C-alpha cells in the first residue's frame, strides 16, 4: 500500500483531492504507466452482460473500484480505503491484471456497483 499512498501524495501536490481506483483489465486491454485507459462500457441489464457484447454503449469514463482521497485524509485512513478497494476489484476483469488509476473528474451516472467510480480523466499509474 505504501507505493499507492506515495502516488496519491504526489498527485495531491497539484490537487486538493484526487479520484483513485483499482481496475481489473479485460483480456484485450494492455497499458503502460502514464497511459489513458479506454472508456468503459455500460451494463446491458436486459441481457445481463457488458454492452461491449451488445449495443457498444460507452460509460462516462473508465470504471474502477475506488473513491475520492483528500489532502486532509490521514495516511491510515487512505490505507484503509485502499485495502478495501483493492479487495473489491478482484471480481472484475478477465485477465488477472489490475491497474491503479488516478484522475480528478468523475462521470455522472445512476447505477453503480459498491465503491464503483467512473474516472473521466484516468491515468494508469501502477500495476498491482
Looking at residue 109, its pLDDT comes to 58
Looking at residue 107, its pLDDT comes to 74
Q: Which residues of the chain have pLDDT under 70?
A: 108-111
- In Å, how far are 50, 78, 108, 125 from 2, measured between CA atoms? 33, 10, 30, 14
Measured CA to CA, the distance from residue 7 to residue 95 in angstroms comes to: 24
- For the entire predicted model, the pTM comes to 0.88
Looking at residue 108, its pLDDT comes to 65
At residue 90, the 3 state secondary structure works out as: helix
Q: Is 37 left (phi over 0), alpha (psi -120 to 50) or beta?
A: beta
C-alpha cell, 63:
470504471
Q: pLDDT by residue (tens digit) across 99-115?
A: 999 998 887 655 578 88
Amino acid at each position: 500500500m505504501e507505493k499507492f499512498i506515495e502516488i496519491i501524495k504526489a498527485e495531491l501536490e497539484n490537487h486538493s483531492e484526487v479520484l483513485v481506483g483499482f481496475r481489473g483489465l479485460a483480456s484485450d486491454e494492455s497499458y503502460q504507466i502514464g497511459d489513458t485507459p479506454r472508456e468503459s462500457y455500460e451494463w446491458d441489464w436486459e441481457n445481463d452482460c457488458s454492452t461491449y457484447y451488445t449495443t457498444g454503449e460507452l460509460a462516462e469514463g473508465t470504471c474502477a473500484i475506488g473513491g475520492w482521497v483528500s489532502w486532509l485524509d490521514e495516511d491510515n485512513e487512505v490505507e484503509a480505503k485502499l485495502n478495501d478497494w483493492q479487495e473489491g476489484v478482484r471480481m472484475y476483469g478477465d485477465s488477472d491484471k489490475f491497474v491503479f488509476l488516478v484522475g480528478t473528474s468523475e462521470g455522472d451516472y445512476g447505477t453503480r456497483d459498491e465503491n464503483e467510480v467512473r474516472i473521466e480523466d484516468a491515468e494508469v499509474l501502477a500495476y498491482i
